[in-house]
Structure 1
Amino acid sequence: MRVGFASVPLPVDEPTPMGGYAARTGTAQGTLDPLRISALTWFDGRHRLALVLADLICVNTDLVAAARAATPRVDALWLAASHTHAGPETGCVPGGAATPPPWSHRIPAAVAAAVDAAVRAETDATGRWRNGTLREVGAVRSATPDRAEVPLDLVEVLDGAGRRAGVLVVLPVHPTVLPADNLLISADLVGAARAALAARLGPDTWVAVATGAAGDISTRHTRRGHDPAELRRLGAVVADHCLAQLDRPSVPAWQAGDRLSWRSRPARVAPKPPTGADAVEAATAAVAAARAGEDPAALRIAEGDLSGALLASTVDAPGHDIAVEVAAARIGSLALAALPGEPFLALAETVRRGRPGPTAVLGYANGYPGYLPTRAAYHHPRYEVLATAAAPGSGERLAELAADLLTELDGARP
């Protein structure tokens, strides 16, 4: 197996509209840390898969198609957004939208440059996988959590001499440390974790950070502020956890002679009925009650619910099924699944359930249907359920489809 990695900058001209927060006013006024497009490629001598990670709020299906058309050197390309809320607006609305210029052509060009450089950098490599528990960074945001912990996957890439060449981190936490009034471009938590881990591992090791199934997970209950200092602190927590995990025993992900295979399948998500005005009234009343109760955590949750109700009331619900894509890959023993939109963390566990080998689940990949809550979450009108465009059961159906694709790939292994 040959593996390549490359990363290219994604410049943002100021002023430009920023994505992620409906309450934001104003356009980008500078850069806190530069955005990047990173490409990781695997080549088994016959086929090549590229995983491209973009510091964007979302990737719509038209952007994915344009990126694939711009990269003829790969047989399959997955494009996944970090979901930073401090990047340019790329048409991120529930159900997806057209990607606006200049991003509709600037991003595919950057993807092509990153993939081309990664292909040129390919060398013989093996892989190792670790899974651990990351504490005090992310937790369920629309509830008062009993504990703040999430699973974290590490894929370590070793060169032909057995030296560490790079690390892929799958981090299932919303990168939303910086607030709505921030007007500085930033990759937010993903960028902070990436920079902190790269500093610890040194210049000879590349670092890639992908956002996992983070639809209901954020730093709301763990962050101590909304400023760059807090961003650096949380990034350091992630990096230190990764360092500790790298010292623990690992599981083989792929060996030199292993094969690469993948499958993708289109699916359709039924739209949720429109959210009525009564949801806004109920959420407004809940905010007032939380303020009167002087409970900061309850107030943050209630304010989030109100923003979800307001978003749903101002954005037209799709009048048709939403086209999505689910993808899965086997890289030796490593199973990767790519879910579209913002899947809840429990849906990643649906994909993993019963799997004997190393498995990692990415979110925000290959299209943006919006939030994908669990079926049970629809019984509670929290922010994600109010804002979603998807009908109940959609998340489970897509997660089960990903699990089925991985099972098919298991059966096709030589």
Structure 2
Amino acid sequence: MAFLRRVPWRSLIPLMLLTVGAAYSLASWNWCGVWAERAPVVVSQVRDEGPLRAGAAKVALVPPFPVVVAGYSPPRPEASQADPPLHARAVVLEVGGTRVGLVSLELLSVTQELVARVRARAATAGLKDVLVVATHTHSSLGGYDSRLVAQLVGTGRYRQESVDAIAAAAVESLAQATAALTDVTLEVGQAREPGFVYSRSGGAAPDGTLTRAVLRGQAGPVAELLVFAAHPTMVPRQRAYVDPDYPGRLSSLREADGSGVTLLLQGTVGNASVSFSKGQGLERVSAFAQALAALAGKAPLAPVEGPVRLSLARVEAAMPRPDASRLVPSLTRAAGDNLLCGSAQRVAEVGALALGPLEWVAVPGEPTVGAGAELLRRTGATGVLGLADGYVGYVETAELVKDRRGESMRQYFGPALLERLVVAAELAAGTAGFTR
């Protein structure tokens, strides 16, 4: 330090420039390597038809307190308790000799690591396959995603204890649901309230459709599946509690009303935000959950007669090379690509789930309404499930990505992303026996 004080600062300028230039060159080097392109491949398929049985369970998801509250960029509050509590909810479906599990976790997202752990444990309980989804709650616990970009922008520092707690709750919910299997009938319906949602970034607007599927046993509803699309970002950002936002409150309200274990599944949530003005703060969250619960109760139900078809196919697709061109200044584009490449999934799974007349494509990210429309058009599906079996970020239409509009300003990949997922979804839908 004494030496530096004796050196005229102007003489250090070339050294500083050289250091900055070297750092820039190093960061701009192509560290991504080659991202191989290949056709999608089927990795799992189960399919049967006959009488339907189902079991459901709700298990507390207890974080390893204290935990960071996930959902936003820093600074993030640290929570020492949950209010209301978090849960893992599971439904196990059985037709013939085929058992399929569906787990909904009150989290921001799910990771490939977490999904693999849940499936491995579920297989020992006789389940042929499992679909793991997140409610996309922006006020739940973090620390479960080891990828650097995820830690920086949403989930906070990785902690193995968080992964363990989440996996334990998911596995226990599947075990309890399997133990509760009973004969059920299937009823489906829809309701719509366009005033509940709006598009936060342009593009195709959400229409507020809520799809409802009821699995009814002799003693009453065993479970209820609700598909809706709106970002759970209603809880104040700096609240130092983990909180399930409106999905957890909605499920609890429906369960208290006798609807069985209720799973809220996000649809084309990419550009869908809540439009609801009654109340402030947490009162607004509860009021919206009550309004959505009432909408679900108004959905007219039609029974599904005869044998029920159950199928689930999963397809692995190679992801395109990450593209940070819309996320960072042009001079740091290469460095941005390198950062994304170290955290982005090179492969992703797309699923196709058929339950009676319901045919859902499951996507590992946040598809916008426009992206969802393309998935429906190309696969013949009746709906799209987001935040399923991993997370590749936002999924916008190629046109809007090229124009740098819509949710493309948050998308980690270039305009080829949607087409990669659509082609995989077409294969999954065909394998699952979609009826288009």
Q: Structure 1-normalised TM-score?
A: 0.80
Assess, with a 3 A threshold, how the Cα gap between structure 1 residues 95 and 395 changes in structure 2: closer, same or farther.
farther
1:327 aligns with 2:385: no
Gaps of 5+ in 2: 1-51, 152-156
Structure 2 letter corresponding to 1:138: V
Structure 2: distance between partners of 1:412 and 1:348: 18
Structure 2 contact 84–243 (Cα < 8 Å) conserved: yes
Q: How do residues 314-393 of structure 1 correspond to structure 2 at under 5 angstroms?
A: 316-318=339-341, 322-353=346-377, 359-381=382-404, 384-393=407-416
> Post-superposition shift, 1:344?
1.3
Residues 368-397 of structure 1 deviation map (CA, whole Å, 9 limit, x = unaligned): 111111112214545732222122131243
How many Å separate the matches in 2 of 1:377 and 1:391? 10
Q: Say whether residues 1:70 and 2:121 are aligned partners.
A: yes
Shift of 1:130: 1.4
Pick one of 170, 188, 213 that aligns with 2:227: 170
Give 3-state SS (helix, strand or coil) of 2:160's partner: coil
- Shift of residue 166, structure 1, vs aligned partner: 2.7
Q: Secondary structure of 2:433's partner?
A: helix
**What does residue 285 of structure 1 align with?**
none
Partner amino acid, structure 1, of 2:112? T
> What are the ranges of 5 or more consecutive residues in structure 1 without an aligned counterpart?
282-308
The letter of the residue matching 2:321 is P
Matched, 1:250 2:309: no
User: Residue 21 of structure 1 aligns to a residue in which SS?
Assistant: coil
Alpha carbons of 1:100 and 1:13: their partners in 2 closer, same or farther (altered >3 Å)?
A: closer
Q: Is the 8 A contact 1:137 1:148 kept in 2?
A: no
| SS class of match (1:136) | helix
Cα distance change, pair 84–389 in 1 and its aligned pair in 2 (3 A): same
Work out which of the residue numbers 205, 216, 221 in structure 1 matches 2:271.
Answer: 216
Q: In 2 relative to 1, CA 383–87 (structure 1 residues): closer, same or farther, beyond 3 Å? A: farther
Q: How does 1:126-141 map to 2 (within 5 A)?
A: 126-141=185-200
Aligned length: 375
**Corresponding residue for residue 211 of structure 2:** 153
Question: What displacement does 1:411 show?
Answer: 6.9
Q: Does residue 1:84 correspond to 2:149, yes or no? A: no
Larger radius of gyration: 2
Q: Distance in 1 between matches of 2:77 and 2:89?
A: 28
Distance in 2 separating the partners of 1:18 and 1:314: 27
CA shift, 1:329, in A, is 2.2
Moved more, 65-74 or 11-20: 11-20
CA distance 1:188–1:383, change in 2 (3 Å) = farther
Task: Give yes or no for contact 2:60–2:87 (8 Å, CA) kept in 1.
Answer: yes
Q: Give distance in 1, aligned partners of 2:269 and 2:217.
A: 31
CA-to-aligned-CA distance 1:216-261 (integer Å, 9 cap, x gap):
1112x5456761100011111111111111xx25262x74x43422
Identity %: 24
1:37 corresponds to: 88
Q: Note if contact 1:87-1:185 (Cα within 8 Å) is conserved in structure 2.
A: yes
- AA aligned to 1:122 is L
Partner of 1:198: 255
Give, in whole Å, the separation in 1 of the partners of 2:130 and 2:158: 18
Contact 2:187/2:215 (8 A) holds in 1? yes
CA distance in 2 between counterparts of 1:230 and 1:412 reads 41
Alignment match of 1:231 (pick from 285, 301, 306): 285
Q: What is the deviation of 1:17?
A: 1.3
CA distance in 2, matches of 1:144, 1:407: 29
Name the aligned partner's letter for residue 335 of structure 1: E
Q: In structure 2, what is the Cα distance between the partners aligned to 1:88 and 1:226?
A: 23
- SS of 1:70 mapped into structure 2: helix
Written as runs of structure 1 = structure 2, the 5 A alignment for 1:304-315 is none
**Displacement of 1:279 after TM fit?**
4.7
CA distance in 1, matches of 2:406, 2:329: 11
TM-score (norm 2): 0.77
Query: Which residue, 164, 167, 170 being the options, matches 1:105?
Result: 164
